[in-house]
């Protein structure tokens, strides 16, 4: 194992032209609708076959900012009719802490149109992490290995611990089981439940994600929905901070690092009035270490071509966020 010191710099944004990286492809649409979701998914769904799992955040009861269940119902019907939504129980006590509580919350939020597998309901499995600094394995819900392909469908937003929650958070925290795996990421043994923070937390979360990404190999794909972007995670439900950041669109890639990086780049390309709250959340939590550590672990690139599928052309980050409407206007 490496010397266990987290690298600093998670509070410093590195502009696109200052990065050293190969380039991946990230697709972009302004069409925030079920049709937009289906259209962009079709750009990144090669090899997604067999028994398909969809990892998304199904939310706390009546959570106002999650991807609408009606969108997902329409998406599954047209794109992967036999798919199963997967989730895990939470590390904190609340309405998704036990499987029984979680099932009630799923019903409240309308996730009743397809199977939902709480993958840690019947135990855990340890998947290996190659070249990890903190871990050589991550403990996940054991049912994750029952699937051939994984669609990581993420509501991109802020996050109380991570600064932001993209695809990395969705599977790094969201596939770790609710008792062992999440404790490995969040808690120093014998200390407060949320004792691990900033770069130490980001690096552990990324290593957890790597276990899932490496397991699925070329049968995993990533979609981020930049809509209703509170600085709060969907774990906070109706108590989430009010949304002030404008809606942007939907992005997708086969490269998890490039995708989350592109979403961050679009945030930073906004005007200060538009992005102030979420940038403050990202930088005060040192959340940008998520991106640099994914790149260091060989999980993807921090540079990319941004392809506007509405107009079939490559665009800049500034062009993607030009003329945004204030939220709720």
**Domain span at residue 105?**
16-320
- What is the distance between the alpha carbons of residues 130 and 138, in angstroms, rounded to a whole number? 11
Q: What is the pLDDT along the chain (329 residues), one digit of tens a residue?
A: 446 899 999 999 999 999 999 999 999 999 999 999 999 999 999 999 999 999 999 999 998 899 999 999 999 999 999 999 999 999 999 999 999 999 999 999 999 999 999 999 999 999 999 999 999 999 999 999 999 999 999 999 999 999 999 999 999 999 999 999 999 999 999 999 999 999 999 999 999 999 999 999 999 999 999 999 999 887 877 888 888 999 999 999 999 999 999 999 999 999 999 999 999 999 999 999 999 999 999 999 999 999 999 999 999 999 999 999 998 76
55 has which bridge partners? 86, 152
* 226 assigned to some structural domain: yes
* 210 assigned to some structural domain: yes
* 11 assigned to some structural domain: no
- What is the distance between the alpha carbons of residues 88 and 143, in angstroms, rounded to a whole number? 10
- CATH number for position 130: 3.40.50
Residue 95 in tokens:
């309405």
In a 3-state reduction of DSSP, which class is residue 253? strand
pLDDT at 34: 98
* 204 assigned to some structural domain: yes
In a 3-state reduction of DSSP, which class is residue 153? strand
* 1 assigned to some structural domain: no
User: Which residues 6+ apart lie within 8 Å of 47 measured at CB?
Assistant: 149, 218, 219
How many domains does the chain contain in total?
Answer: 1
Contact 69, 246 (CB under 8 A): no
- What is the distance between the alpha carbons of residues 52 and 74, in angstroms, rounded to a whole number? 16
Centroid of chain to Cα 118: 18
pLDDT at 239: 80
- What is the distance between the alpha carbons of residues 140 and 211, in angstroms, rounded to a whole number? 9
Contact 282, 163 (CB under 8 A): yes
């Amino acid at each position: 194992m490496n010397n266990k010191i987290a690298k600093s710099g998670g509070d410093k944004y590195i502009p696109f032209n200052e990065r050293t990286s190969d380039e991946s492809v990230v697709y972009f649409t302004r069409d925030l609708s079920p049709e937009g979701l289906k259209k962009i998914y079709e750009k990144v769904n090669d090899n997604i076959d067999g028994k398909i799992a969809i990892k998304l955040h199904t939310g706390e009861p009546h959570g106002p900012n999650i991807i609408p269940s009606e969108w997902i119902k329409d998406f599954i019907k047209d794109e992967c009719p036999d798919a199963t939504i997967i989730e895990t129980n939470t590390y904190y006590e609340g309405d998704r802490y036990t499987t029984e509580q979680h099932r009630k919350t799923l019903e409240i939020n309308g996730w009743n149109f397809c199977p939902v597998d709480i993958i840690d309901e019947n135990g855990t499995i340890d998947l290996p992490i190659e070249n990890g600094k903190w871990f050589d394995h991550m403990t996940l819900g054991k049912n994750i290995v029952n699937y051939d392909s994984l669609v990581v469908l993420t509501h991109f937003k802020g996050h109380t611990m991570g600064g932001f929650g993209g695809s990395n958070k969705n599977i790094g925290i969201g596939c770790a089981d609710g008792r062992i795996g999440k404790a490995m990421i969040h808690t120093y043994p014998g200390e407060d439940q949320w004792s691990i923070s900033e770069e130490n937390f980001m690096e552990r979360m990324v290593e957890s994600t790597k276990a899932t990404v490496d397991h699925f190999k070329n049968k995993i794909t990533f979609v981020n929905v930049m809509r209703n972007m509170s600085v709060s995670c969907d774990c906070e439900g109706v108590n989430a901070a009010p949304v002030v950041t404008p809606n942007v669109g939907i992005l997708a890639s086969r490269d998890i690092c490039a995708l989350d990086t592109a979403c961050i780049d679009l945030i930073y390309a906004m005007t200060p009035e538009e992005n102030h709250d979420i940038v403050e959340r990202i930088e005060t939590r040192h959340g940008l270490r998520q991106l640099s550590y994914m790149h260091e672990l060989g999980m993807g690139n921090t540079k990319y071509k941004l392809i506007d599928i509405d107009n079939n052309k490559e665009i800049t980050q500034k062009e993607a966020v030009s003329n945004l409407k204030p939220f709720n206007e």
